[in-house]
Amino acid sequence: MPSELILTENMSDDFTEVKVVGEVDIYTSKQFKEKLYSVLESSGTDLKIDCSELKYIDSTGLGILVGTLKKAKLKGNNVYITGLKDNIKKLFLITGLDKLFFIE
């Protein structure tokens, strides 16, 4: 079965970037959460989440982003979300999450 979600990370001194390719839904959300939480765990920098190839995310995935943001804030770091496609940006607007994250 072709994997529906591919997550790659890229660490630099200033920030850690996670690139999200594919779909975040109930099937892939565990993988999504574990990746983001483990990246937060091991890095002390701001987090950039590159969503330019994120095709789909549901409320579970958005909840995981909120959880990630909370964890990051506790460590004094920010979460930047980049490259959102229009259909997904729409979900951030609907849920008001656009006001919580730095969206670039």
Partner 1 sequence: MMENLKDTMIDYFETIELILPFKAEYVSTARLTASSVASKMGFNIEEVEDIKVALSEVCSKLVSRGSKVVDSYRIVFKLFKDKLTIVFCCEDGTLNCVFDNENDSLGIAIMNALMDDVELCTKTEQLLLISKVLKGEKQDAI
Ligand X SMILES: Nc1ncnc2c1ncn2[C@@H]1O[C@H](COP(=O)(O)OP(=O)(O)O)[C@@H](O)[C@H]1O
Q: Kindly list the residues in this chain that would bind ligand X in the complex (CB under 6 A).
A: 33, 59, 63-64, 66-67, 70
Using alpha carbons, select from 55, 65, 39, 63 the residue that is nearest to residue 87: 55
Q: Which is nearer to ligand X, 42 or 59 (CB)?
A: 59
Residue 94 sits in the site that holds partner 1 (CB under 8 A): yes
Segment 28 to 87, residues that bind partner 1, using CB under 8 A:
56, 58-60, 62-63, 87
d(CA 42, CA 45): 9
Q: Kindly tell me which of 6 and 94 has the beta carbon lying closer to partner 1.
A: 94
- Contact in structure between 78 and 102 (CB atoms under 8 Å): yes
Which does residue 64 bind out of partner 1, ligand X, none, counting CB within 5 to 8 angstroms by kind?
A: ligand X
Structure tokens at 56: 């789909």
